[in-house]
Amino acid sequence: MESVVKQPGVIGRYLSLIKFSHTIFALPFACIGFTIGVMDLHASGAQSPFSWGLLLKMLLCMVFARSAAMAFNRYLDRRFDALNPRTARREVPAGVISPTGALTFTIINSLLFVLTTWFINTACFSLSFVALFVVLFYSYTKRFTALCHLVLGVGLSLAPIGAYLTVTGEFAVFPLLFSFAVLTWVAGFDIIYALQDEEFDRGNKLHSIPAALGVVNALKVSSLLHIISAALIITAGIQGHLHLLYWAGAAFYVFLLIYQHRLVKPDDLSKVGIAFANTNGIASVVFALFTIADLLWYGLNS
């Protein structure tokens, strides 16, 4: 008998559309920003600096904003995705989800994101429209600039400072260091990911660092961005007077930055997937766990 391949349900199809598992990149850094906010309130003498309800709202904002951004990207890029053998099996070009369905999903998540910020504080609600513009605008950038990777980095870099604003309603320099670290980290690994489409992008007049500079120079730019990210992580540790747990997490983060560049060679892109998803996902989770543990352990016992 022939085996029957079970098709995913509606929820499964939309989770696949937005690559929900990739939420793991920015979410740990959002948790760092949230924890910094809680510890700042604790240090100022606030009676109840932590709130499960506030944490849930922050997590929902992360999910809604990223879901809107990814669905919009799939909607906008559907024609190019259909032409590219690597992406032709994505849900919209493959007909699993209609363009209207993807756009509707984008609008619903955008509205839910803004609505959730309304229940957080005035600062988050006021800035929600700016954040939404940035994460949606990224999808247009490959059409006119090779700096699209940096725009994606800006979108994900909003996670730490946005989470901090959720708790405090105010800006601060310390969480911004993590935001800039995320910006350069994401831009660097997005360049690595874009290596797969260098020829396709060039042939279809799409812009990217690999299409503009070639594989060798693109990897150099990616390495420079990751060096800056590592420097910002080190600066944050010094600025925040953090301790052994943080530095252990930072060392692991830097090691995985170096490791992913060892995996990807100009003449061998077979391990781009591992470098992009596995290495960066592990780096963000482990670094966040050690950072949060350091902030809580030393902050609550000081």
Which residues share a beta bridge with 179?
Answer: none
Residue pair 171/161 in contact (Cβ under 8 Å)? The answer is: yes
Query: Which 3 state secondary structure label does DSSP give 86?
Result: coil
pLDDT: is 15 or 120 the higher one?
120
Give the span between the Cα atoms of 130 and 137, in whole angstroms: 10
Residue type, 228: I
User: Residues in the chain, how many?
Assistant: 302
Q: How far is CA 87 from the centre of its chain?
A: 20
- pLDDT band, very low/low/confident/very high, at 21 (cuts 50, 70, 90): low
Q: Percent of the chain at pLDDT above 90?
A: 81
pLDDT in tens, 162-209: 999 999 999 999 999 999 999 999 999 999 999 999 999 999 999 999
At residue 24, the pLDDT reads 77
What are the structural domain ranges in the chain? Answer: 10-300
pLDDT in tens, 222-272: 999 999 999 999 999 999 999 999 999 999 999 999 999 999 988 888 888
What sign does the dihedral 58-59-60-62 (CA atoms) show? positive
pLDDT in tens, 38-85: 999 999 988 888 999 999 999 999 999 999 999 999 999 999 999 999
At residue 271, the pLDDT reads 87
In the DSSP assignment, the letter for residue 275 is I
Whether 1 shows a pLDDT value over 80: the answer reads: no
- Min mean pLDDT across 126-130, 262-266, 297-301 is at 297-301
What is the average per-residue pLDDT within 271-278?
Answer: 82
What sign does the dihedral 296-297-301-302 (CA atoms) show? negative
Residue type, 29: F
For residue 261, what are its two tokens?
Answer: 């560049």
pLDDT in tens, 73-124: 999 999 999 999 999 999 899 999 999 999 999 999 999 999 999 999 999 9
- pLDDT band, very low/low/confident/very high, at 210 (cuts 50, 70, 90): very high
- Secondary structure (H, E, C), 201-242: HHHCCCCCHHHHHCHHHHHHHHHHHHHHHHHHHHHHHHHCCC
* CATH architecture of the domain formed by 10-300: Orthogonal Bundle (1.10)
pTM: 0.93
- pLDDT band, very low/low/confident/very high, at 10 (cuts 50, 70, 90): confident
At residue 62, the pLDDT reads 94
CA atoms within 13 A on the CB side of 144: 5
User: What is the separation, in whole angstroms, between the first and last Cα of the chain?
Assistant: 67
At residue 13, the pLDDT reads 78
For residue 86, what are its two tokens?
Answer: 């690597």
For residue 133, what are its two tokens?
Answer: 């513009």
At residue 5, the pLDDT reads 34
* Residue 265, phi then psi, degrees to nearest 5: -115, 150
Give the span between the Cα atoms of 5 and 28, in whole angstroms: 34
